[in-house]
Amino acid sequence: DAKTTQPPSMDCAEGRAANLPCNHSTISGNEYVYWYRQIHSQGPQYIIHGLKNNETNEMASLIITEDRKSSTLILPHATLRDTAVYYCIVETGGYQKVTFGTGTKLQVIP
Amino acid sequence: DGGITQSPKYLFRKEGQNVTLSCEQNLNHDAMYWYRQDPGQGLRLIYYSQIVNDFQKGDIAEGYSVSREKKESFPLTVTSAQKNPTAFYLCASSTMTGRREKLFFGSGTQLSVL
């Protein structure tokens, strides 16, 4: 599996956009970028995924660079309920194990 | 509502005791996973199963065992061989329609040693 690198922590003011970066310089052509988040003491929740095009859903936007070596998850208007650990993972989505790193702890500040 | 149910939410283990964590899903998903999470750490894969009666070891399988006798159930046994079992355990599932889709997680079981 490709390895991802994320900053351990970030702060964001409530109401502002939260931009969470992820480096995945060894990503393969058939690997997708997935984002999940985990609120304290709960199971992780899927947010969004993409291959090479930018994606948007009701929760967030995903921007993937043209060379696919990095991506950014954007929460357009962060709220206190967005305080969580955000995980970026890359995988093919096939019959294989799925591994998580340590993620980015996002703190939304009032 | 469809989802994944983990039980119990809290579990205590005595020295030398085996304990079993339950994971049930009614999403009709083929694949199921068990992860371990230590405080302040990410998720580490213990075991995963892509189909009934088949499962593979993850990165930290030693001291754990699983079974997959039914599609909807994937129990995890923490054996006495696991010397440091205190952790938060998460079960997940996903569908496999052509390619694996997103993971759905349960709410977790916190296991502590008495």
Looking at residue B15, its pLDDT comes to 84
pLDDT digits (tens, 9 = 90+) for A4-54: 999 999 999 999 999 999 999 989 888 889 999 999 889 999 999 999 989
pLDDT digits (tens, 9 = 90+) for B37-46: 998 888 899 9
Q: What is the mean pLDDT of residues A60-78?
A: 96
Banded model confidence at residue B1, pLDDT cuts 50, 70, 90:
low
Backbone angles phi, psi at A77, to 5 degrees: -140, 85
- Is the CB of A43 less than 8 angstroms away from the CB of B105? yes
pLDDT digits (tens, 9 = 90+) for B48-65: 998 899 999 998 999 999
What's the sign of the alpha-carbon dihedral A19, A59, B1, A50?
negative
Which residues of A fall within a CB distance of 8 Å from B43?
44, 87, 99-100
Q: Give CA–CA dist B74/B78, Å, rounded.
A: 13
